[in-house]
Amino acid sequence: MDLPTVNEKIYPYLLILSALSLSVGGYSLYAGKLVPVFLTYLTIFALAVILILAFLMMKKMNYKLKVAGLILGILGIALSLNPSHISALLNIGKSPFLTIADITMITGFFLFPGIYIVLFFYEAVNGGDKY
């Protein structure tokens, strides 16, 4: 029985969904005055990197771009496991801005990157990579 293959068109869309989540969360943190302004600039920089990578993937997918997305996903998860992010998650519901930021942190840093990582390794294990 053949296992289903991964449609690699999903990879840039997972990046875009992460970027959308992070942009909403970043704006919520900025609007709620929950973080210093320089962290907002770092978020904008990260969004630019993610969206450029997604654009390049849509233009011409290749293995190096997929690995770059994998690295971003792993970094995103690792960086979001720091004490300030965990503390924010523990305070979900205490303010509307923080709640929005927490929900978008879960989707932007964990859900979409996690799906990307699982699909990447699923494809690698099942020989789906043709590069």
Whose tokens are 């969206």? That residue is 51
Contact between residue 15 and residue 117 where contact means Cβ atoms under 8 Å apart: no
The DSSP string of 20-73 is HHHHHHHHHHHHTT-S-HHHHHHHHHHHHHHHHHHHHHHH---HHHHHHHHHHH
The tens digit of pLDDT for each residue in 54-89 reads: 999 999 999 999 999 999 999 999 999 999 999 999
Question: Rounded to an integer, what distance in angstroms lies between the CA atom of residue 44 and that of residue 115?
Answer: 23
Q: How confident is the model at residue 129 (pLDDT cuts 50, 70, 90)?
A: low
The tens digit of pLDDT for each residue in 26-37 reads: 999 999 999 999
Domain boundaries, the chain: 10-125
